[in-house]
């Protein structure tokens, strides 16, 4: 039997950046020659624009025709201190914003353009001549971390590990002391009411309420340090997905008051909550009533997913940690060591967890990655960017020479979930493709 791998032509158009829109129905790709937009569910090319020069960042606004562009690659189309809002319906620039330093990230809504610089976040009115609305100082933010929803704007604070939450209706600012080290990832839920954070250590993910800034849950990715690539809440906010340079996609349970865990045998209509564990009503309360949330994000009726089983009730050491209820390797691609760097992920599927407004604004495309890598000037391309296609389906995409799209499903498992907890759900990969060669 011939077991040699097939010979493939080299990809002559490496991807410089990749980012989902807010509902993850599409993802935008920055190229050395322009940009493309793909339909996420089938990984089908929808738009391709040849601009004859490099785009280091392409960020789509919802399902509208506007795309934020920043120059990148060896021959940038635009200066890296300029944001171009491209109106694809007219095939021309709608507006542009020039800053004094390189742009680290961009978020768009129908009324605002948020530009992220290394030490500040600047908010502009979305109009032909953009008017500055606010400027917020931050600690060093090379990854361009920033999330935008209809009600909230979230970005790093002035002190390492802190998060600033701006209530857009009142312009009031709240500070969350999320971690003791630099932030590596931020993510708002679809409705903007939940915020997930991770630090450069990458072992613990914390979940906060944006309205009260209270911590409602803590989840453990693993015990070894890792670089978090992407965080993303499911459409209902009842699950949180995470990828890292360990090469695994993890799915975590998120406590939401008033929701009950569906039985594994009952049918799940599209869009219904599909989390492994959800809060149960308090003893004696009416069915479907709101459940109380403790400081650790559990209720009296909640079963916590932990690899330690009954020992998870012991409040010290690793025993109280809550791990993912399902995980599977994603393929970060086989990138050359020179020019595009990166490592390969595994191919064996794993069931179970354990260590290893623009509504619902997502991670910055730079999250978890070196900013210059996104702009095509260093060796590490973006990998593991997450988008939820529905409550049980995810896509994971990456940049670089070996730019891949993978589709994962959360399915019923007769073996139950791993890590010692119940739930009966597993994560499987349904398919993949190299989307630039399709």
Q: Which range marks the domain in which residue 304 is found?
A: 17-356+360-437
pLDDT for position 336: 59
- Specify the residue for token string 């709608």: 94
Asked if residue 9 belongs to a domain, the reply is: no
Asked if residue 1 belongs to a domain, the reply is: no
Asked if residue 193 belongs to a domain, the reply is: yes
pTM of the model: 0.79
Q: How confident is the model at residue 381 (pLDDT cuts 50, 70, 90)?
A: confident
Asked whether 207 and 215 are in contact (CB, 8 A), the reply is yes
For residue 171, pLDDT over 80 is answered with yes
Instruction: Please state, as a whole number, how many other Cβ atoms lie within 10 Å of the Cβ of residue 263.
Output: 9
Asked if residue 267 belongs to a domain, the reply is: yes
For residue 33, pLDDT over 70 is answered with yes
Instruction: Please state, as a whole number, how many other Cβ atoms lie within 10 Å of the Cβ of residue 1.
Output: 3
pLDDT for position 268: 41
Asked if residue 175 belongs to a domain, the reply is: yes
Instruction: Report how many domains make up the chain.
Output: 1
338: domain CATH number is 2.130.10.10
Asked if residue 3 belongs to a domain, the reply is: no
Asked if residue 12 belongs to a domain, the reply is: no
Q: How confident is the model at residue 415 (pLDDT cuts 50, 70, 90)?
A: low
pLDDT digits (tens, 9 = 90+) for 175-223: 999 999 999 999 999 999 999 999 999 999 999 999 999 999 999 999 9
Distances (CA, A) of 397 to 14, 339, 394, 432, 433: 14, 20, 10, 10, 10
Asked if residue 217 belongs to a domain, the reply is: yes
Asked whether 396 and 330 are in contact (CB, 8 A), the reply is yes
Using CA atoms, how far apart are residues 364 and 385, in angstroms rounded to an integer? 10
Across 96-100, 319-323, 331-335, 336-340, the highest mean pLDDT is recorded for 96-100
pLDDT digits (tens, 9 = 90+) for 15-25: 999 999 999 99
């Amino acid at each position: 039997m011939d077991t040699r791998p097939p010979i493939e032509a080299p990809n002559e158009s490496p991807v410089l950046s990749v980012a989902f829109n807010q509902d993850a129905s599409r993802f935008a790709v920055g190229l050395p020659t322009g940009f493309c937009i793909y339909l996420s569910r089938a990984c089908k090319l929808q738009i391709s624009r040849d601009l004859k020069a490099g785009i280091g960042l392409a960020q789509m606004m919802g399902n509208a025709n506007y795309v934020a562009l920043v120059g990148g690659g060896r021959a940038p189309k635009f200066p890296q201190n300029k944001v171009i809002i491209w109106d694809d319906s007219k095939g021309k620039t709608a507006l542009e914003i020039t800053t004094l330093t390189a742009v680290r990230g961009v978020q768009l809504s129908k009324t605002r353009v948020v530009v992220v610089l290394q030490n500040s976040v600047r908010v502009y009115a979305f109009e032909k001549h953009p008017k500055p609305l606010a400027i917020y100082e931050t600690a060093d933010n090379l990854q361009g971390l920033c999330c935008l929803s209809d009600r909230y704007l979230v970005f790093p604070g002035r002190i390492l590990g802190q998060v600033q939450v701006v209530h857009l209706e009142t312009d009031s600012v709240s500070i969350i002391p999320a971690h003791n080290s630099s932030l590596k990832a931020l993510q708002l839920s679809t409705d903007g009411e939940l915020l997930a954070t991770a630090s450069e250590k990458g072992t613990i993910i914390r979940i906060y309420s944006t309205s009260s800034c209270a911590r409602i849950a803590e989840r453990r990715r693993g015990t070894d340090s890792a670089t978090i690539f992407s965080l993303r809440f499911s459409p209902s906010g009842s699950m949180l997905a995470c990828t890292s340079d360990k090469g695994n996609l993890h799915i975590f349970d998120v406590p939401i008051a008033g929701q009950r865990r569906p039985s594994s045998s009952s049918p799940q209509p599209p869009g219904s909550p599909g989390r492994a564990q959800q809060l149960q009503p308090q003893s004696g309360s009416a069915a479907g009533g709101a459940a109380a949330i403790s400081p650790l994000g559990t209720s009296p009726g909640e079963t916590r997913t932990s690899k330690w089983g009954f020992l998870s009730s012991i409040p010290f050491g690793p025993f109280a940690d809550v791990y993912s209820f399902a995980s599977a390797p994603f393929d970060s691609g086989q990138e050359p060591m020179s020019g595009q760097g990166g490592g390969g992920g595994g191919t064996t599927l794993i069931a179970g967890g354990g260590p290893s407004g623009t509504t619902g604004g997502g991670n910055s495309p730079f999250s978890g990655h070196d900013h210059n890598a996104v702009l095509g000037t260093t060796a590490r391309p973006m990998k593991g960017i997450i988008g939820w296609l529905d409550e049980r389906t995810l896509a994971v995409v990456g940049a670089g020479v070996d730019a891949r799209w993978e589709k994962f499903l959360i399915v019923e498992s007769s073996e139950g979930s791993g890590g010692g907890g119940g739930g009966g759900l597993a994560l499987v990969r349904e398919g993949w493709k190299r989307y630039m060669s399709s």
